[in-house]
Chains A and B, each alone.
Chain A
Amino acid sequence: MAQLRRDYEQFVSLGTEILVAGPEKAEAFREYWAKENLPFIGLPDPEHRVLKLYGQEVKLFKLGRLPAQMLIDKNATVRFVHYGHSMADIPSNEEILSLLTSSPT
């Protein structure tokens, strides 16, 4: 989250919004966003609707909530998918930003 916040303006300048979904409830999101001063759109998903839709059910809830990132372009096409294999398995922003820079939609 810290690295995403650091590069947030760069994502915005490339026409990209950041949505962060998680299993916590709205109140927990609100507190965390306030505490960390996060600019992202926070999507509480306590019923796991989107988490299941996007294939994170097993990894998230049986193996301990592994991170995942998807870049979806303006045509609603998936341009980048990363399912983490460990808690620390998060792609670099540079990897995603370079995609946005090299192939504007």
Chain B
Amino acid sequence: MPRVELNAKAPDFTLNDFNGKTISLADFTGQKNVLVVFNRGFF
């Protein structure tokens, strides 16, 4: 069951990118749109 609803506020999250830099969804709020892609696995 999808937990992200269209036209609702996106849940904030924070993860480190693969270089160790902290990335939060909130960093982009007011700045940029964000396309979040959940990959099925690269390999």
The verdict on A79 contacting B6 (CB below 8 Å), with A23-B41, A28-B43, A55-B1 known, is yes
Q: A24 to chain B: which residues have CB within 8 Å?
A: 41-43
- Further contacts, 12 of them, CB under 8 A, given A17-B28, A50-B13, A78-B9: A4-B37, A16-B32, A16-B33, A40-B37, A43-B23, A49-B13, A54-B3, A55-B2, A65-B39, A69-B35, A74-B31, A78-B5
A-B contact count (CB 8 A): 160
Closest beta carbon of chain B to A38's beta carbon, Å: 10
Asked if residues B37 and A77 are in contact (CB atoms below 8 Å), the reply is no
Asked if residues B12 and A76 are in contact (CB atoms below 8 Å), the reply is yes
Interface residues of B (CB under 8 A from A): 1-13, 15-20, 23, 25-26, 28-43
- The docked-state distance in angstroms from the alpha carbon of A1 to that of B16 is 20
Closest beta carbon of chain B to A16's beta carbon, Å: 4
Q: B32 to chain A: which residues have CB within 8 Å?
A: 15-17, 74
Asked if residues B42 and A75 are in contact (CB atoms below 8 Å), the reply is no
Q: A32 to chain B: which residues have CB within 8 Å?
A: 42-43
